Amino acid sequence: MKLICNKDLLLQYINIVNKAVSNRTTLPILECILLTADEKGFLLTGNDLELGIKTASIEAEIFEQGEIAIEARIFNDIIRRLNGENVTITTDEKNAVNILCGSSEFTIMGQSGEDFPALPEVEQNQAYTLKQNNLRNMIRQTIFSIAQDNAKPVLTGELFEFNGDFFSIVSVDGYRISYRKNNLISSFQKTEVIVPGKTLSELNKILSQEDEELVSVYITDKHILFDLGTAIMVSRLIDGDFIRYEQSFSEDYKTEILVNKNELIQSLERASLVSRDNRKTPVRFQIKSKSLEITAKSDMGTAFEEISAEIDGQEITIAFNPRYFIEALRSIDEERVRIHFTASLSPCTILPVEGDSYKYLILPLRM
Amino acid sequence: MKLICNKDLLLQYINIVNKAVSNRTTLPILECILLTADEKGFLLTGNDLELGIKTASIEAEIFEQGEIAIEARIFNDIIRRLNGENVTITTDEKNAVNILCGSSEFTIMGQSGEDFPALPEVEQNQAYTLKQNNLRNMIRQTIFSIAQDNAKPVLTGELFEFNGDFFSIVSVDGYRISYRKNNLISSFQKTEVIVPGKTLSELNKILSQEDEELVSVYITDKHILFDLGTAIMVSRLIDGDFIRYEQSFSEDYKTEILVNKNELIQSLERASLVSRDNRKTPVRFQIKSKSLEITAKSDMGTAFEEISAEIDGQEITIAFNPRYFIEALRSIDEERVRIHFTASLSPCTILPVEGDSYKYLILPLRM
């Protein structure tokens, strides 16, 4: 292989495929980036067997085709620090890689490209199309409530539901449910899959924040493929049946409050200071006729907060893990939220003041 | 005690005394901030027995004098998150502290102010006066080469030398020497003391970056006091004789080079990438007639760098720990530096192109 390409462009693409490079593995080849120069152009691939990313062709002058796997960390470190504009990369038959740029010359040992695992084949028949920025927000707004342990593997991922013109993402960790809904730009048949949390957090780092950029999603039995234009990401899916979460959301409620989201976040953060060393210490909500009182108590002392709210329905006292409330509220972009309560031991639901683009369910704690 | 003061002002002073609050100690009172309201006004004190900070009087309306020790972390967390403008602090005879601000009310347990250790008395007769920003820079430019272990306690601090109109700071870790010199604004008799590294790194966080702010330094047998105007900091001194470092700097040299500092830093950083996993792997300098070549070699591969330099004297090959060179060069603000070499196994010295405001000595490694 011999080619010349722009250093900054190369670095940008290394940062993309790096999201699929393994950090610690017993298979050293998975810590590598595959460089391929062939008739399709120059492209990079990262693949940790759960998740794979392959870039679109990178502008380069190719003098000799070939492929080589290079340890991602050293390759990234070197390219990042080079002081020239263009990089010349040359390999020899012993897999030594020569990198020439500006006043620097590096020679490092690579591995044969043949040993690098190929990305799974995903048939690209039916595409669900979304705005990259929308998908990005929906993941950010739900990913915090995926389950952290492996007791129920399906809960370590998020449910993607494609249904008619709508698309929804749901995460459930046993104590709460986060649900977000959005429009599809194009859609075909109804589909449900469970995508690993790790895939989604890496995908989120490379999804564009520009509103006009689109992502096409392709699904097979075992895999999901995201085509971002600059790169494709392929991930395995989680096998199994997701929890039937819909039945947890009830239309009934006894008390509805309308409250400023930031005021509520700040009050909860302050109240939870006195229970800092024990995140399981509940904060207590006392919903009166015109205000919401929040109190917390521990060995450390007591906190009392009062915030104004529009309240409709019965007075109620209920306790929560403040972190669950704070995380849900932080994921909401609107200024005000609606909250439905039924009883001291029934879950509450956080809803938008208008529309149905999200719903968050939180289980109470015993007082 | 009962008083009202501005929240932001209080927070600003908490952040200052926090630098002298102990994080982990078997004496819980050392994790506290002492609040004192007396005829001198309202002030805060932190004291971990090595280092103490007492603020100047904080603007406050005092309704009832008194003193109380409050756990610094919770006090800081609460004050930082309050949403009102003014804070009312009230204590009762059982040392409960009530904090009232905006829509929040906290009650936390404090400890009797009588249990809080007093700061050591330091006679404020003779003041050495410096610009805060100058002292700040001098500490930053030398502190990286204090010894990290306690084998030689005097080397875990820095030597402060007040001598006539000059003031210098020196640190020595057995492999290198960092020396900075500056003018005193006022001075009296010649003095040498060893100030603990921890004191200097905390002092640096509260020294002003404004050029017009001054700091007065007072010294006794056991202690050093820095008066910053907004606060005083008192530290114990390190007992013992500092290393006679002057004799290590020789006026003789065989080769002098003049080089761009940033180019040299960047070349060294790149070259050391191939020895990333072993910081002790040397980089080799080959000083030719018109250029400086830097090479590094390890199992990982090889690096070769070439930078232009003005060279006067003999050609020489010498090896160094690249980190020592990089840290010294990073602490230099000027664009170009002068470096003196004598022989492959003799130390080299980094000097300013003009003047004598600094000198850095670095021991070579065997190749």
Dump the DSSP string for B75-116: HHHHHHH--SSEEEEEE-TT-EEEEEETTEEEEEE-EEGGGS
Q: State what percent of residues in chain B have pLDDT above 70.
A: 99
Residue B76 lies in a domain: yes
**Residues of chain B contacting A, Cβ within 8 Å:** 74, 77-78, 81-83, 96, 103-109, 266-267, 269-270, 273-274, 276, 300-307
**pLDDT: which is higher, B50 or A125:** B50
Phi, psi of A159 (to 5 degrees): -80, 125
Of B83, B106, B300, the CB nearest to A303: B106
* pLDDT score, position A278: 55
Q: Are residues B254 and B315 in the same domain?
A: yes
Residues 6+ apart with CB under 8 A from B121: none
Of B103, B109, B300, the CB nearest to A306: B103
* Closest CA of chain A from B270, distance in Å: 6
State the average pLDDT over residues A8-22: 97
Q: How many helices (H) and strands (E) does chain A have?
A: 6, 27
* pLDDT score, position B269: 95
Q: How many helices (H) and strands (E) does chain B have?
A: 6, 27
Note the pLDDT tens digit of each residue in B37-50: 999 999 999 999 99
Of A83, A105, A266, the CB nearest to B266: A83
Residues 6+ apart with CB under 8 A from A294: A267, A268, A271, A283, A284, A285, A286, A303, A304, A305, A306, A307
Q: Are residues B291 and B355 in the same domain?
A: yes
**∠B285-B288-B289 over CA atoms, to 5°?**
150
Q: Are residues A224 and A265 in the same domain?
A: no
Residue B121 lies in a domain: no
CB < 8 Å to B108, chain A: 274, 300-302
Q: Are residues A9 and A97 in the same domain?
A: yes
Residues 6+ apart with CB under 8 A from A255: A287, A311, A312, A313, A314, A315, A316, A340, A341, A342
Q: Which residue reads 């050093």 in tokens?
A: B224
* pLDDT score, position A156: 96
3-class SS of residue A65: coil
CATH number for B295? 3.10.150.10
Note the pLDDT tens digit of each residue in B24-34: 778 999 999 99
Residue A122 lies in a domain: no
Residues 6+ apart with CB under 8 A from A153: A238, A240
Cβ contact B315:B287 at 8 Å = yes
Q: Are residues B138 and B94 in the same domain?
A: no
Q: Are residues A102 and A16 in the same domain?
A: yes
CA-nearest residue to A305 within chain B is B104
Cα(A315)–Cα(A350) distance, integer angstroms: 18
Q: Are residues B100 and B152 in the same domain?
A: no
* B106/A274 CB distance under 8 A: yes
Note the pLDDT tens digit of each residue in B107-132: 999 999 999 999 999 998 889 999 99
* B303/A104 CB distance under 8 A: yes
Of A269, A270, A302, the CB nearest to B107: A302
Burial group, residue A274, by CB count within 10 angstroms (0-12, 13-18, 19+): buried
How many angstroms separate the first and last alpha carbons of chain B?
68
Structure-block tokens of residue B134: 């100058």
CB < 8 Å to A302, chain B: 106-108
CA-nearest residue to B80 within chain A is A270
**pLDDT: which is higher, A151 or B177:** B177
* pLDDT score, position B135: 97
Of B82, B107, B301, the CB nearest to A107: B301
Residue A306 lies in a domain: yes
Confidence of residue A188 (pLDDT cuts 50, 70, 90): confident
Phi, psi of A266 (to 5 degrees): -65, -40
Among A245, A278, A297, identify where a domain stops.
A245
Confidence of residue B162 (pLDDT cuts 50, 70, 90): very high
**pLDDT: which is higher, B179 or A250:** B179
CA-nearest residue to B300 within chain A is A108
Q: To probe the interface with B, which of A78, A80, A103 has the most B CB atoms within 10 Å?
A: A103
Among B210, B245, B280, identify where a domain stops.
B245
Half-sphere exposure at residue A315, Cβ-oriented, CA atoms within 13 angstroms: 6
Of A78, A81, A266, the CB nearest to B83: A266
Q: Are residues A28 and A102 in the same domain?
A: yes
Cβ contact A246:A179 at 8 Å = no
State the average pLDDT over residues B160-172: 94
> Per-residue pLDDT for B165 more than 90?
no
Residue B130's CB: how many other CB atoms inside 10 A?
24
> Per-residue pLDDT for A195 more than 90?
yes
* B273/A74 CB distance under 8 A: yes
Q: Which of B328, B135, B157 is nearest to B242 (CA)?
A: B157
Provide the 8-state DSSP code for A241: P
Residues 6+ apart with CB under 8 A from A213: A131, A132, A133, A228, A229
Pairing of strands A128-131, A214-219: antiparallel
Residue B122 lies in a domain: no
Q: Could you list the residue range(s) of the whole structural domain that residue A215 is in? A: 128-245
Burial group, residue B317, by CB count within 10 angstroms (0-12, 13-18, 19+): middle
Residues 6+ apart with CB under 8 A from B280: B321, B365
Of B74, B105, B306, the CB nearest to A300: B74
CA-nearest residue to B95 within chain A is A301
Domain count, chain A: 3
User: Which strand (E) or helix (H) includes residue A315?
Assistant: none
Q: Which of B81-88's residues contact partners 24+ apart within 8 Å by CB, and which partners?
A: B81/A266, B81/A269, B81/A270, B81/A273, B82/A270, B82/B7, B83/A266, B84/B7, B85/B6, B85/B7, B86/B4, B86/B5, B86/B6, B86/B7, B87/B4, B87/B5, B87/B6, B87/B7, B87/B10, B88/B2, B88/B3, B88/B4
* A301/B83 CB distance under 8 A: no
How many angstroms separate the first and last alpha carbons of chain A?
68
* Closest CA of chain B from A297, distance in Å: 10
> Per-residue pLDDT for A164 more than 90?
no
* A301/B82 CB distance under 8 A: no
Cα(B259)–Cα(B309) distance, integer angstroms: 5
Confidence of residue B60 (pLDDT cuts 50, 70, 90): very high
- Name the β-bridge partners of B319: B284, B365
> Per-residue pLDDT for A122 more than 60?
yes
Provide the 8-state DSSP code for A59: P
**How many residues does this entry show for chain B?**
367
* B74/A270 CB distance under 8 A: no
Among B85, B115, B145, identify where a domain stops.
B115
Q: A36: phi > 0 → left, psi -120 to 50 → alpha, else beta; which?
A: beta
Residue B123 lies in a domain: no
Of B103, B273, B307, the CB nearest to A103: B307
Note the pLDDT tens digit of each residue in A92-106: 999 999 999 999 999
Residue B338 lies in a domain: yes
Confidence of residue A24 (pLDDT cuts 50, 70, 90): confident
Cα(B182)–Cα(B167) distance, integer angstroms: 5
> Per-residue pLDDT for A280 more than 70?
no
> Per-residue pLDDT for B78 more than 80?
yes
State the average pLDDT over residues A330-351: 97
User: Which strand (E) or helix (H) includes residue B197?
Assistant: helix B197-206
Cα(B263)–Cα(B271) distance, integer angstroms: 12
CA-nearest residue to A101 within chain B is B305
* B267/A104 CB distance under 8 A: yes
Q: Are residues B56 and B135 in the same domain?
A: no
Q: State what percent of residues in chain A have pLDDT above 90.
A: 90
CB < 8 Å to A109, chain B: 300-301
**CA distance readout (Å), A65 to A61, A97, A187:** 11, 14, 39
Q: Which of A131-140, A187-196, A352-361 comes out lowest in average pLDDT?
A: A187-196
> Per-residue pLDDT for B105 more than 80?
yes
* Closest CA of chain B from A308, distance in Å: 10
Q: Which of B135, B190, B133, B136 is nearest to B161 (CA)?
A: B190
* pLDDT score, position B276: 64
CA-nearest residue to B77 within chain A is A273
User: Which strand (E) or helix (H) includes residue B33?
Assistant: strand B32-38
Cα(A285)–Cα(A281) distance, integer angstroms: 13
Note the pLDDT tens digit of each residue in B206-243: 999 988 999 999 999 999 999 999 999 999 999 999 99
Find the farthest-apart pair of alpha carbons in chain B and give their distance in angstroms, rounded: 80
3-class SS of residue B138: helix
> Per-residue pLDDT for B173 more than 80?
yes
Burial group, residue B103, by CB count within 10 angstroms (0-12, 13-18, 19+): buried
3-class SS of residue A95: coil
3-class SS of residue A200: helix
Half-sphere exposure at residue B198, Cβ-oriented, CA atoms within 13 angstroms: 18
* Closest CA of chain B from A74, distance in Å: 7
Mean of the per-residue pLDDT values of chain A: 95
Residue B123's CB: how many other CB atoms inside 10 A?
10
Residue A100 lies in a domain: yes
* B270/A105 CB distance under 8 A: no
- Name the β-bridge partners of A10: none
Note the pLDDT tens digit of each residue in A243-278: 999 999 988 999 999 999 999 999 999 999 998 665
Residues 6+ apart with CB under 8 A from A137: A180, A333
* Closest CA of chain A from B282, distance in Å: 16
* B276/A77 CB distance under 8 A: yes
State the average pLDDT over residues A39-51: 96
* A104/B270 CB distance under 8 A: yes
* Closest CA of chain A from B141, distance in Å: 24
* pLDDT score, position A279: 57
